[in-house]
A and B are shown apart, each in its own frame.
Chain A
Amino acid sequence: MSRLPHDLPAFEEQVADLRGYLMKFARLQLRNETWAEDAVSEVMLAALAKPQAFGNRSQLKTWLVGILKHKIIDAIRQRAREVCQEQDRSESDEDPLDYLGFKADGHYVEPPAEWGNPEQQASSRQFFEVLEACVSHLPVVQGRLFLMREWLELSSEEVCKELGLTSTNLYVQLHRARLRLRECLELNWYGKAVQP
Protein backbone atom coordinates (compact mmCIF):
# COMPACT_ATOMS: atom_id res chain seq x y z
CA MET A 1 0.00 0.00 0.00
CA SER A 2 1.34 3.49 -0.88
CA ARG A 3 2.13 5.89 1.92
CA LEU A 4 0.68 9.35 2.40
CA PRO A 5 2.82 12.21 1.06
CA HIS A 6 5.40 13.24 3.66
CA ASP A 7 3.92 16.73 4.08
CA LEU A 8 0.16 16.53 3.49
CA PRO A 9 -0.65 20.29 3.71
CA ALA A 10 2.14 21.05 1.21
CA PHE A 11 0.80 18.31 -1.10
CA GLU A 12 -2.69 19.84 -0.99
CA GLU A 13 -1.25 23.28 -1.75
CA GLN A 14 0.74 21.92 -4.72
CA VAL A 15 -2.39 20.25 -6.09
CA ALA A 16 -4.33 23.52 -5.78
CA ASP A 17 -1.49 25.43 -7.49
CA LEU A 18 -1.75 23.15 -10.54
CA ARG A 19 -5.43 23.89 -11.10
CA GLY A 20 -4.68 26.52 -13.77
CA TYR A 21 -2.37 24.13 -15.61
CA LEU A 22 -5.09 21.45 -15.66
CA MET A 23 -7.74 23.96 -16.76
CA LYS A 24 -5.60 24.93 -19.76
CA PHE A 25 -5.67 21.39 -21.14
CA ALA A 26 -9.27 20.70 -20.13
CA ARG A 27 -10.37 23.83 -22.02
CA LEU A 28 -8.25 22.93 -25.04
CA GLN A 29 -9.75 19.43 -25.25
CA LEU A 30 -13.36 20.06 -24.18
CA ARG A 31 -13.83 23.58 -25.63
CA ASN A 32 -16.54 24.21 -23.03
CA GLU A 33 -15.85 26.13 -19.83
CA THR A 34 -18.43 24.30 -17.69
CA TRP A 35 -17.31 20.84 -18.81
CA ALA A 36 -13.68 21.81 -18.21
CA GLU A 37 -14.46 23.16 -14.71
CA ASP A 38 -16.32 19.95 -13.84
CA ALA A 39 -13.52 17.69 -15.10
CA VAL A 40 -10.79 19.60 -13.25
CA SER A 41 -12.86 19.74 -10.03
CA GLU A 42 -13.21 15.95 -10.20
CA VAL A 43 -9.44 15.61 -10.62
CA MET A 44 -8.78 17.82 -7.58
CA LEU A 45 -11.30 15.89 -5.48
CA ALA A 46 -9.84 12.54 -6.54
CA ALA A 47 -6.28 13.68 -5.76
CA LEU A 48 -7.17 15.16 -2.38
CA ALA A 49 -9.32 12.17 -1.41
CA LYS A 50 -6.53 9.65 -2.09
CA PRO A 51 -3.17 11.39 -1.74
CA GLN A 52 -1.55 8.02 -0.97
CA ALA A 53 -2.22 7.00 -4.59
CA PHE A 54 0.38 9.53 -5.78
CA GLY A 55 3.32 7.80 -4.14
CA ASN A 56 5.93 10.16 -5.68
CA ARG A 57 6.33 7.86 -8.70
CA SER A 58 6.32 10.77 -11.15
CA GLN A 59 5.97 14.53 -11.14
CA LEU A 60 2.73 15.61 -9.45
CA LYS A 61 1.82 17.47 -12.66
CA THR A 62 2.09 14.27 -14.71
CA TRP A 63 0.05 12.26 -12.21
CA LEU A 64 -2.74 14.87 -12.24
CA VAL A 65 -2.77 15.14 -16.07
CA GLY A 66 -3.08 11.35 -16.19
CA ILE A 67 -6.18 11.53 -13.97
CA LEU A 68 -7.50 14.46 -16.04
CA LYS A 69 -7.30 12.45 -19.26
CA HIS A 70 -9.50 9.75 -17.73
CA LYS A 71 -11.99 12.34 -16.42
CA ILE A 72 -12.12 13.99 -19.86
CA ILE A 73 -12.84 10.67 -21.57
CA ASP A 74 -15.66 10.14 -19.03
CA ALA A 75 -17.01 13.64 -19.77
CA ILE A 76 -16.91 13.03 -23.53
CA ARG A 77 -18.63 9.67 -23.09
CA GLN A 78 -21.44 11.26 -21.06
CA ARG A 79 -21.95 14.03 -23.63
CA ALA A 80 -21.25 12.08 -26.82
CA ARG A 81 -24.17 13.62 -28.72
CA GLU A 82 -23.26 17.21 -27.82
CA VAL A 83 -19.55 16.74 -28.53
CA CYS A 84 -20.16 16.40 -32.27
CA GLN A 85 -23.15 18.67 -32.71
CA GLU A 86 -21.82 22.18 -32.16
CA GLN A 87 -21.08 23.83 -35.45
CA ASP A 88 -18.94 26.93 -35.73
CA ARG A 89 -20.48 29.79 -37.62
CA SER A 90 -17.00 30.43 -38.99
CA GLU A 91 -16.75 26.88 -40.35
CA SER A 92 -17.14 26.75 -44.11
CA ASP A 93 -17.71 23.75 -46.34
CA GLU A 94 -14.51 24.47 -48.25
CA ASP A 95 -11.79 21.85 -48.19
CA PRO A 96 -8.61 23.37 -46.70
CA LEU A 97 -6.72 21.26 -49.26
CA ASP A 98 -7.72 23.91 -51.81
CA TYR A 99 -5.76 26.57 -49.89
CA LEU A 100 -2.50 24.79 -50.72
CA GLY A 101 -2.58 26.08 -54.28
CA PHE A 102 -3.05 23.48 -56.99
CA LYS A 103 -3.28 23.99 -60.73
CA ALA A 104 -6.26 22.69 -62.70
CA ASP A 105 -4.31 19.50 -63.47
CA GLY A 106 -3.92 18.78 -59.73
CA HIS A 107 -0.23 19.68 -59.42
CA TYR A 108 1.25 22.28 -57.08
CA VAL A 109 1.50 25.86 -58.33
CA GLU A 110 4.44 26.35 -55.95
CA PRO A 111 6.05 23.50 -54.00
CA PRO A 112 5.38 23.51 -50.22
CA ALA A 113 7.97 25.32 -48.09
CA GLU A 114 10.86 23.57 -46.35
CA TRP A 115 10.22 23.62 -42.59
CA GLY A 116 13.73 22.77 -41.41
CA ASN A 117 14.37 20.41 -38.52
CA PRO A 118 11.04 19.79 -36.72
CA GLU A 119 12.69 18.19 -33.68
CA GLN A 120 14.73 21.32 -33.06
CA GLN A 121 11.64 23.52 -33.41
CA ALA A 122 9.62 21.37 -31.05
CA SER A 123 12.10 21.67 -28.21
CA SER A 124 11.09 25.30 -27.79
CA ARG A 125 8.40 26.36 -25.32
CA GLN A 126 7.45 29.19 -27.67
CA PHE A 127 6.71 26.65 -30.38
CA PHE A 128 4.36 24.76 -28.03
CA GLU A 129 2.54 28.01 -27.26
CA VAL A 130 1.98 28.61 -30.99
CA LEU A 131 0.89 24.98 -31.44
CA GLU A 132 -1.64 25.26 -28.58
CA ALA A 133 -2.95 28.56 -29.96
CA CYS A 134 -3.40 26.96 -33.39
CA VAL A 135 -5.26 23.99 -31.89
CA SER A 136 -7.50 26.32 -29.87
CA HIS A 137 -8.43 28.14 -33.09
CA LEU A 138 -9.66 24.99 -34.82
CA PRO A 139 -13.45 24.80 -35.18
CA VAL A 140 -14.89 23.32 -31.95
CA VAL A 141 -15.81 19.84 -33.15
CA GLN A 142 -12.62 19.46 -35.20
CA GLY A 143 -10.53 20.55 -32.21
CA ARG A 144 -12.17 18.01 -29.90
CA LEU A 145 -11.79 15.13 -32.38
CA PHE A 146 -8.22 16.09 -33.24
CA LEU A 147 -7.14 16.14 -29.59
CA MET A 148 -8.94 12.86 -28.87
CA ARG A 149 -6.51 11.39 -31.41
CA GLU A 150 -3.40 13.38 -30.58
CA TRP A 151 -3.62 14.15 -26.85
CA LEU A 152 -5.89 11.46 -25.41
CA GLU A 153 -4.21 9.05 -27.87
CA LEU A 154 -7.40 7.23 -28.82
CA SER A 155 -7.42 5.28 -32.09
CA SER A 156 -9.80 6.37 -34.85
CA GLU A 157 -11.89 3.27 -34.10
CA GLU A 158 -12.10 4.20 -30.40
CA VAL A 159 -13.15 7.79 -31.23
CA CYS A 160 -15.91 6.51 -33.53
CA LYS A 161 -17.07 4.05 -30.88
CA GLU A 162 -17.09 6.61 -28.04
CA LEU A 163 -19.03 9.17 -30.08
CA GLY A 164 -21.14 6.97 -32.33
CA LEU A 165 -19.54 8.60 -35.38
CA THR A 166 -19.14 7.01 -38.77
CA SER A 167 -15.53 6.59 -39.85
CA THR A 168 -16.23 8.70 -42.95
CA ASN A 169 -17.45 11.61 -40.83
CA LEU A 170 -14.45 11.34 -38.50
CA TYR A 171 -11.92 11.22 -41.36
CA VAL A 172 -13.42 14.30 -43.01
CA GLN A 173 -13.16 16.27 -39.75
CA LEU A 174 -9.60 15.09 -39.04
CA HIS A 175 -8.51 15.81 -42.63
CA ARG A 176 -9.71 19.40 -42.20
CA ALA A 177 -8.21 19.76 -38.72
CA ARG A 178 -4.75 18.56 -39.81
CA LEU A 179 -4.67 20.82 -42.85
CA ARG A 180 -5.86 23.83 -40.83
CA LEU A 181 -3.23 23.16 -38.17
CA ARG A 182 -0.53 22.89 -40.85
CA GLU A 183 -1.66 26.17 -42.37
CA CYS A 184 -1.73 27.90 -38.96
CA LEU A 185 1.80 26.69 -38.09
CA GLU A 186 3.07 27.82 -41.47
CA LEU A 187 1.59 31.30 -40.99
CA ASN A 188 2.44 31.77 -37.33
CA TRP A 189 5.72 29.91 -36.91
CA TYR A 190 7.42 28.90 -40.13
CA GLY A 191 6.34 32.02 -41.97
CA LYS A 192 7.99 34.30 -39.40
CA ALA A 193 11.26 35.77 -40.62
CA VAL A 194 12.88 35.60 -37.18
CA GLN A 195 12.71 32.41 -35.16
CA PRO A 196 14.23 31.77 -31.75
Chain B
Amino acid sequence: MPLKRTCKEATALMVAREDRSLAWRDHLALRLHLLVCKACPRFERQMLGMRQQLKQWRNYTMPD
Protein backbone atom coordinates (compact mmCIF):
# COMPACT_ATOMS: atom_id res chain seq x y z
CA MET B 1 0.00 0.00 0.00
CA PRO B 2 1.45 3.41 -0.90
CA LEU B 3 2.23 5.88 1.89
CA LYS B 4 -0.41 8.39 0.79
CA ARG B 5 -3.45 8.50 3.11
CA THR B 6 -6.76 10.37 2.88
CA CYS B 7 -8.03 12.42 5.83
CA LYS B 8 -10.53 9.66 6.64
CA GLU B 9 -7.77 7.02 6.75
CA ALA B 10 -5.50 9.30 8.80
CA THR B 11 -8.35 10.01 11.25
CA ALA B 12 -9.00 6.28 11.71
CA LEU B 13 -5.27 5.76 12.43
CA MET B 14 -5.28 8.57 15.02
CA VAL B 15 -8.16 6.86 16.84
CA ALA B 16 -6.56 3.40 16.55
CA ARG B 17 -3.23 4.45 18.04
CA GLU B 18 -4.96 5.23 21.35
CA ASP B 19 -5.37 1.48 21.87
CA ARG B 20 -2.66 -0.24 19.84
CA SER B 21 0.72 0.32 18.26
CA LEU B 22 0.53 1.20 14.58
CA ALA B 23 2.50 -0.75 12.01
CA TRP B 24 5.59 1.27 11.10
CA ARG B 25 4.22 1.87 7.60
CA ASP B 26 0.95 3.27 8.98
CA HIS B 27 2.88 5.34 11.50
CA LEU B 28 5.06 6.82 8.77
CA ALA B 29 2.10 7.44 6.43
CA LEU B 30 0.23 9.22 9.23
CA ARG B 31 3.22 11.46 10.06
CA LEU B 32 3.57 12.37 6.39
CA HIS B 33 -0.14 13.12 6.08
CA LEU B 34 -0.10 15.35 9.17
CA LEU B 35 2.80 17.34 7.69
CA VAL B 36 0.90 18.28 4.55
CA CYS B 37 -2.74 18.39 5.73
CA LYS B 38 -4.34 21.49 7.26
CA ALA B 39 -7.43 19.78 8.69
CA CYS B 40 -6.09 16.61 10.34
CA PRO B 41 -3.73 18.28 12.85
CA ARG B 42 -6.90 19.75 14.41
CA PHE B 43 -8.32 16.26 14.91
CA GLU B 44 -4.94 15.19 16.32
CA ARG B 45 -5.13 18.02 18.88
CA GLN B 46 -8.66 16.93 19.82
CA MET B 47 -7.49 13.34 20.43
CA LEU B 48 -4.47 14.48 22.45
CA GLY B 49 -6.79 16.75 24.42
CA MET B 50 -9.16 13.88 25.17
CA ARG B 51 -6.22 11.74 26.31
CA GLN B 52 -5.15 14.50 28.71
CA GLN B 53 -8.71 15.06 29.94
CA LEU B 54 -9.28 11.37 30.63
CA LYS B 55 -6.05 11.27 32.62
CA GLN B 56 -7.16 14.27 34.69
CA TRP B 57 -10.60 12.74 35.22
CA ARG B 58 -8.96 9.51 36.42
CA ASN B 59 -6.92 11.54 38.93
CA TYR B 60 -10.06 13.44 39.97
CA THR B 61 -11.76 10.14 40.87
CA MET B 62 -8.84 9.22 43.15
CA PRO B 63 -7.55 12.42 44.79
CA ASP B 64 -4.23 12.24 46.66
Contact = CB atoms under 8 A, between A and B. Distances in A.
Interface string B14-53: 0110111000000000000000001110110111111011
Interface of A: 25, 58-59, 61-62, 65-66, 97, 100, 102, 105-108, 111-115, 118-119, 121-123, 127-128, 131-132, 149-151, 153, 156, 167, 170-171, 174-175, 178-179, 181-182, 185
Interface of B: 6-9, 11-12, 15-16, 18-20, 38-40, 42-43, 45-50, 52-54, 56-58, 60-64
Contacts of B46: 112-113, 115, 182
27 contacts: A62-B64, A65-B61, A97-B8, A97-B15, A100-B8, A100-B43, A102-B6, A105-B6, A106-B8, A107-B8, A108-B7, A111-B42, A112-B46, A113-B46, A118-B49, A118-B52, A121-B53, A127-B53, A128-B60, A149-B19, A151-B58, A151-B61, A156-B20, A170-B19, A178-B15, A178-B18, A185-B50
